[in-house]
Every structure is written in structure tokens, then in C-alpha cells.
Structure 1
Amino acid sequence: PTYTVWQLSRAFVKDGDLAATAQQVKDTMRTYPWAQRDNPPETNFVNLSGLKMNGIHANNFEFYEELNAVIQKEPANAFPPELVGTLAAIGIKKGQPFEPDDRMRAILTDAVAVGNATARSIIFAQRDKRGFYFPDRQWKTNFIGGSSEFYNNGERMLDSRVLFHYYATVITPAMAAPAVGTGSVYGYAERDANGDYLDGGKTYQITLPAPIPVNNFWSFMVYDNQTRSMLETDQQTAGVDSNSPDLKPNADGSYTVWFGPKAPKGKEGNWVQTLPGKGWNSLLRLYGPLQPWFDKTWKPGDFELVK
């Protein structure tokens, strides 16, 4: 157990009405200590929209200071002894100051740089063939082996664990092994159909063939390769989904979406803005995925460079 608890919930937006969705959450969701269940206090909701927050972990020496802050705050038995011992070996111990000398500080600074580069390589230069959904597509999975604990025949797949937790945040068993028609599935791509990295200064198009196998809805989100956070653009959406009111299907029911610095004329509703000078990747989400996704009889297109 830990003193800090973080709960995330995702609400489905109906008819693009964000305000109504937010109000429904406020009207129905209650959070309070179990000890106060007989007379729960009013839940206080804080609107973070428009506020600046840094949710990115450090990739320099400050990373160790973040780790030390967690160890000092949480109970001594909150983490496995192996992990606590590893941190103790570099001077991070509960109840003691973290004060590495110049020699150790230099070693740790080099180590975090190597770790950061290694994690990025695992994500953006994937060599494990099990990570690809389809042999002829660029789409990859964050859940190699289909286990939220990254087990495979008694093996802890360390690179697979790094891939997920460096790229994403929070995890549940249902995310790794969703049932047909419920939950969600995810695929990420950082390269175009030619195998080149996606460039924020160029324009791409991608088509999802009809019928798209979802019970609920699908979405594309774009992320900054550097921060792994949603790309900050003037569009202020960082993506598009099938509930978007201005999204238009093709005549055959498929959907084509454009990604680039400027919207193609007449395609504004089917466009996601990117930034010149910024490498990006996209996460395709299917909410309530149907059988054609699981048996791979349906495939999303790849990002095609528009020249």
C-alpha cells in the first residue's frame, strides 16, 4: 500500500458535447475516505483545462531526486525489497539524505542518459517482431506477449516492460487482454509506409477501411517523440476521433485522415495538426474492438507521405 493513490477515469463524449459530459461526471462521481462512507463529504472537482502542468519525468540527474522524494514519502514496505535495495545501492534510502559526491553524481548522470537513450531505442527502433501487429504494416503494440505484467513462460520481458512504461502511463490487465466488443486496443506508429520517421513538417494521409471494427468509437492521437505527451499545437486537440462532428467519411464508408502543418483544402474536419521540427508518433485506439481486429482480417492503413 502507498499513501498516494492516483485514479484515472475516461468518459465517453456524446455528440461532441464536452460540457455535458463533464457535468454528468460531476453529478454522479463521488470520492471520499471509506471511514466517511456513512456521511460522505461533497466531492471537490478541480478543472485543469487551460492550466499548464509538467507531467514529464526528468531525464537528467533530477530523475534520482524524484525517486528519492517517493522513497521518503511512502511507507518503507511500499515497494519490493529488490527495488528498494537497488535504490539503496546508489544512496537513496528512507530516512537518510540523498547526497551523492561528485564521483557518484557523474556516474548517475551518465547512467540516466544511457537509460533514456535505451528506452527511446526500444520504442522507436523496435526490433522484436512480436511487437508488430501485422507483417506488412508499421503498427505496433505496447503489450508484447499480451500480459500487463509482461510475463512469458516464466520470463519477465524487461524490454517490453520498458517499452510500455516509458511510452505510456497507468496499466490494467484489461488493457493488455481486452475481450471482443469491450475495453480498448491500442496500436502506435512512428514511421510512414516507407519506414521513415514521421516528420512534423510534412503531410501524410492514412485510411481506415470500412467497416471499422468497433462497438463504440475510434481515435487517432498524436504525441511528441521528445516528451511522449500530446503534441501542443494551435489546433489544441492533438487528434481526431469518430465522434468529431466535422469528420467526414469516404463514399465507401472508410475514413481518410490527414496529418501535417496545414489542412488540405476542404479536409479541415479530417485533419490533425503537426509541427515542423517536431518528430511525432500516433496512437490508434479502438474502443469496443470487434473480432476482425483480433483475427487480423481488418488492417488499418499506414501513413502515406503526400508529395
Structure 2
Amino acid sequence: MSTSADVPAGYNTPIPSKIMTPDRVETRIGTLEFTDGFPSEETAAKVFDQLDFARAVEVFLQSIPAASLEGLRAGLTDFGLDAANKVGIADQLLDSTPLFLTGNTDTVYALAMLDLHRDGPTVVEIPPGCGPGTVNDAWFRFVTDMGKPGPDRGAGGNYLIVPPGYEGEIPDGYHVSHSRSYTNLLALRGFLVDGKTDAAKAMFEDGVKIYPLNAEGARPEMQFLSISGKAFNTIHANDRSFYEEVADVITREPIELIDPETRGLLAAIGIHKDHPFAPDERMLGLLSEAAAVGNATARAICFKTRDPRAYYYEDRKWKTGFVGGDYRWLDKDGRGGRNMDARTLFFYQATLNTPAMALEMVGVGSQYALSEHDSAGNYLQGDKTYRLTLPAGIPAQDFWSVIAYDPQTRSELQTGQALPSRSSEKDRDELVYNEDGSIDLYFGPEQPSEHGGNWIQTIPSKSWYGILRLYGPLESWFDKSWIPNDIEQI
């Protein structure tokens, strides 16, 4: 056997060093040891722990949409929305008492959970004048819009949501959508009239009907339950129980809910359609750590965003929730694949996936801008006082609002104000505009001596972040001829 420099001992021909494995390799997970390429027992155990841990972190990040929808399903079901004809309605607006990911304080929500496995194809009748409405499946994917951005264009209409695998007859007269899951969230929104909820509440209670297609002759009576001022949780876990939530989704839904690659990723850590989720003690420890790292990663993606495309302007802190401008998070129409970080940025802090929030639709739908930093680049703190100046000509055909949120829960900030927000519709009798048509909004623990109607309260012991919403966004938003100032400490 040759022992020349080009032909190592044990070989007859030259062997490129780049294909060889040294006996010892120093890595971020420690020293890895081999005997002629065979891993030692300790090395094999170490890399398998790392493999399971890495996959569990990836499951956390990829499954946030599913866990988030499951959090809504569980929370709303526990509240009493355990049948499709039971609708939760924010008849006094969505205040900060219930926990919802970045819910808004300025439209009247009507929420229902559809179970297509139990009910089969389900009819949803919505009345004329309904604001933006959306149906999302169990992986928080878009199914259909309703109301103004939907196919009824605000004229009202009858929708039919069809379960996966359904082969029965589909009658005429419906806007038909096929869902990939049995569980579906229906969220409708109604606008305030003269700053009040009465008209939207009556519109929903008089006009919304939800029933199985096969029960059209014996429709269940609609029940509307107020969710305003009620304490309950709809947010997914950030600890090890996150994986139990995802496992429940996989057990309940058809196997085709997700693609084979994603199924394989989940199965690699024990989440499998055909088997109970029963991790052993070793895996439980890894899952606890993976959930902590996954949660930290999601928070960094959201609040320390490193993708420059997330920012609306080069010299501002305002960010979009839809990086790339695609509700599927497909980068460059899919040539760059799915932008996983962009999807995490949205679903870790928000809900309701619809093209209407991502597309440039002048005068229709809504647009959002988020900021957790002040003009100096510091996190927003509840013990400090800030000012946000919105220039004249705010580009909102319907109305605008600014809401303060808690970075822990990503829900409305709980303060002495039940509705931690200012809105051109809800608060129109209190807001004071500047002579040039601009408006200064104030944030801090104490109400300012002047322009108290422009104040949003904060809590000294807590951080916060803000979201600017534009309903019926105008061209000046999309062409960036109107630009909001950053939030500045004063």
C-alpha cells in the first residue's frame, strides 16, 4: 500500500482530503470523535440529540400558524362557541380583557368556528354592508374572503365551505370554497356608524346565518355571545405544550392537511397522524429547550427584524406584516421559495390571512404598519412619554387607528383604558388635530394636560409596541407620498 503524500495509508489512489473525516472535530455542540470515520457512541448520541433538537425548533417555527389557529379554536370553544351557529360578537368592541393576537379595537368582530367533519359542507349567509371577512383553515391558510373584499363585494351573499374529500353534489347559488381542513375560522368585521357599534351588531345578529347544507330545512337557531369584556385566551403556548397543540391538530385533521415533507418533519419528533404523541423523558427535555429557542427565534424575527424588505421606508422604523407582499409568503412569485421568516414574523403576532391585507387594493381592505422602536432605535417603554405625528391627509377612506400592544401576549396592552387606542371613527369627538391637518398622538403612563383625547396610556413596568391601521387605504399610502413619522420620545 502506498504511503506517499497524495495517497494516504490504507489506499491505492489519491484521496481528496475534503471527503475525509478527521478523528476529532471541534464544533459548536462540542468535540466529535471518530475511528476511521465511524462515530463513537458519545458522538452518535450527541449528534442525534442535536438532530432532534434542531428538528423540534424547526417544527416550532413552521407550525406557528397551526398552533395559533388551534389556540383560537380551543379558546373560542371553551368560551362557548362549540357549534357553527354560535357566534362570538364584540358588540362593545374588542377590548384588552380577552387575549387575541393583535386584535383591533375599532371594528365589530363576529367570530365562529366551523367543523366540516361534524357538519359537512357549511353555508354562511352574510348580510349587505359587511366589512372585511375571511375564512382560514386549520393551518391558517386563506380559504375565502367575504364582504367588501370578497366575491359578494359588500352586497351580501351565500357562501358554501366544502370539506376536504367531499364528493357530493354542490348546488348552485353559492360562492363555493374548498377547504383543506375540517376546522375553519370565520371572522367577519363590521364598521362603526357615528362612532357606535349598534348598526354593525344589528347587521350581524339579523343577517348572519350559519348552518350545515343538509340542514337547510331545519336550520339551528343562531346564538350570539358577547366577547367584549370577557377574560379568555386564544393564544398558542410558547413552552413544551406547543407541541401538544400541534399534535392535536394533526390527529384531528385529514392527512392531506400538510405536504409529505412537513409531515415527515413533524413525525421525526413524534407528531404522527397514526400514533399518539408520547415523547420519552429524553425527548421531553429536548422539546422544552427547543420550544424556548423556537420562541426566542420567533421573537427575534418579529422584534429585531433583520430583513430590510420588512421596512416600509429606509429612514423609518415602520414595518409591514407581509414581507414580500404575498399572503402565501412566496418570495418573488415562488422563485425564491417560501420566505419562512416572513411567515413567522406575521403569524407569531397576528391572525387572519387574506390577500386583501397584502395586495395593493386602493380603497378596499386594510393596510398595517408596526413599530416597536422609537425614532432613536430604542424599544418603546411604558415609563416614558412619546409622540407620534401623523401628517395631514391620512390615507384612509374609511378610518385609521393606532393601537398599543403588549409584546409578551401580542394582545392589546392592558391599562386603565379598556380600549388602548385612538381612532378617527371611534374617538372622532375627542381627537384634536393641528392647524395643518396633522395630528399628534401621545403615549405614556400619565395623561397630558392638553389634548388628552389624543392619549394612549402605557404601564411603567411594561414595554409596548404600536400598529397603525388604515381601512380603505388610498393611493398615497401605496406610492409613499404620505409617510408617518416615527414614534419619538419627548
Q: TM-score range by the shorter chain?
A: over 0.9
Give the Å deviation of 1:39: 4.8
2:476 aligned partner, one-letter code: P
Give the TM-score taking structure 1 as reference length: 0.96
The CA distance in 2 between the partners of 1:88 and 1:47, in whole Å, is: 40
Change (3 A) 1:247 1:37: farther
Report the structure, 1 or 2, having the larger strand content. 2
1:177 aligns with 2:356: no
Q: Deviations over 1:43-80 (max 9, x none)?
A: 11111122111122111111011111112222232222
| Native 8 Å contact 2:311 2:319 kept in 1 | yes
Q: Give the whole-Å Cα distance in 1 for the aligned partners of 2:284 and 2:373.
A: 36
- Asked whether the 8 Å contact 2:413–2:420 carries over to 1, the reply is yes
For normalisation by structure 2, the TM-score amounts to 0.61
2:392 to 206, 210, 227: 210
- The CA deviation string for residues 165-218 of structure 1, in whole angstroms up to 9 with x for no partner, is 112112111211131121111100000011111001111111111111111100
> Counterpart of 1:275?
459
For each residue in 1:93-118, what CA deviation from the matched residue of structure 2 results, as whole angstroms up to 9, or x when unmatched? 22422111111111111111111111
Query: 1:158: Cα distance to partner?
Result: 1.2
Question: Which one has a bigger Cα radius of gyration?
Answer: 2
Give the Å deviation of 1:81: 2.1
Per the alignment, residue 110 of structure 1 pairs with 289
Q: Which amino acid aligns with 1:291?
A: E
Aligned partners of 1:223, 1:82: CA distance in 2, in Å? 35
Q: How does 1:89-168 map to 2 (within 5 A)?
A: 89-153=268-332, 154-155=335-336, 156-168=338-350
In structure 2, the residue matched to 1:5 is 184
Alignment partner of 1:72 out of 227, 251, 261: 251
Judge conservation of contact 1:193–1:303 (CA < 8 Å) in 2. Answer: yes
**Which has the higher mean CA deviation after the structures are superposed, 20-29 or 235-244?**
20-29
Task: Please list every run of 5 or more consecutive structure 1 residues that lacks an aligned counterpart in the other structure.
Answer: none
> Which residue type is aligned with residue 387 of structure 2?
Q
Q: Deviations over 1:18-43 (max 9, x none)?
A: 23421222112111122233553321
Q: How does 1:20-35 map to 2 (within 5 A)?
A: 20-35=199-214
Question: Is residue 228 of structure 1 aligned with residue 228 of structure 2?
Answer: no
Paired residue secondary structure (1:259): strand
Residue 295 of structure 1 pairs with residue 479 of structure 2: yes
CA contact (8 A) 1:150 1:158 kept: yes
SS class of match (2:460): coil
Alpha-carbon distance in 2 for matches of 1:75, 1:183? 32
Q: CA deviation at 1:304?
A: 1.2
Residues of 2 paired with 1:145 and 1:190: CA distance?
A: 20
Runs (4 or more) in structure 1 with deviation over 6 Å come to none
Of the three residues 233, 238, 242, the one matched with 1:59 is: 238
Tell me the amino acid that sits aligned with residue 231 of structure 1. L
**Is 1:40 paired with 2:219?**
yes
Q: Is the 8 A contact 1:206 1:304 kept in 2?
A: yes
Distance 1:279 1:183 in 2: 30
Q: Which residue of 1 aligns with 2:469?
A: 285
- SS of the counterpart of 2:245? helix
SS of the equivalent of 2:186 reads: coil
Residue 188 of structure 2: SS of its match in structure 1?
Answer: coil
8 Å CA contact 2:191–2:197 kept in 1: the answer is: no
**Secondary structure at the counterpart of residue 77 of structure 1:** helix
**Are residues 1:219 and 2:401 paired?**
yes
CA contact (8 A) 1:185 1:287 kept: yes
- Partner-residue secondary structure (3-state), 1:25: helix
- Which amino acid in structure 2 is aligned with residue 49 of structure 1? S
Secondary structure of the residue aligned to 1:247 is: coil
Task: Specify every segment of 5 or more residues in structure 2 that has no aligned partner in the other structure, as ranges.
Answer: 1-179
Separation (CA, whole Å) in 2 of partners of 1:78 and 1:293: 37
CA RMSD, Structure 1 to Structure 2 (Å): 1.4
Aligned amino acid, residue 232 of structure 1: Q
Q: CA deviation at 1:3?
A: 2.2
- What is the letter of the counterpart of residue 250 of structure 1? N
